[in-house]
Amino acid sequence: MAKPVPNLIKNYPEDQLHYLFTKILTASDIKYGLILMGQASKDHLQGFKDQRVKTMLHTPALSQPVFFKSCDRMMSLCQGGWGVIVRGNGFVAGDIINCWFAYDEESRVLNLIMERVRFSANSHHLRITHHF
């Protein structure tokens, strides 16, 4: 299965764009902060959480600074900035999202890009895999 690419957000550096995960949002994600899923998130984002790197989350509705928190082997986005994104996009538990990142080394900004998965009339199913 081909990795998804952003459909609604167009102003990103394609050569630096990395797919992270597809996820069904849970009530816990909405209320407490988005848990970042998959091995790609761990491989690519783990090093950024301890650096002084500005992190921006871009969605079709708005862009917002966000912060990571980490406990045990899990990383998530803190509720503050994530909460603004949830309200601004109308995210609810059960929504399916795709997430990518692009790091701008010159400005030292980690850009997370997130879109709600849209289904077409001929979509019969969606396979979501979680890699831990």
- The single residue listed with the structure tokens 């407490």 is 32
pLDDT tens profile 48-72: 766 778 899 999 999 999 998 877 6
Q: Provide CB contacts within 8 A for 61, sequence distance 6+.
A: 85, 88, 89, 90
Q: What pTM does this model have? A: 0.84
The reported pLDDT for the residue numbered 10 is: 81
Residue ranges for the chain with pLDDT beneath 50: 121-132
Q: What pLDDT is stored for residue 120 in this prediction?
A: 53
Residue with the two structure tokens 């090093």: 47
Report CA-CA distances (Å) from 4 to 48, 68, 124.
Answer: 23, 24, 17
DSSP secondary structure letter of residue 34: P
129's CB contacts (< 8 A; 6+ apart) are 22
What domains appear along the chain, each with residue ranges and CATH number?
23-116 (2.40.330.10)
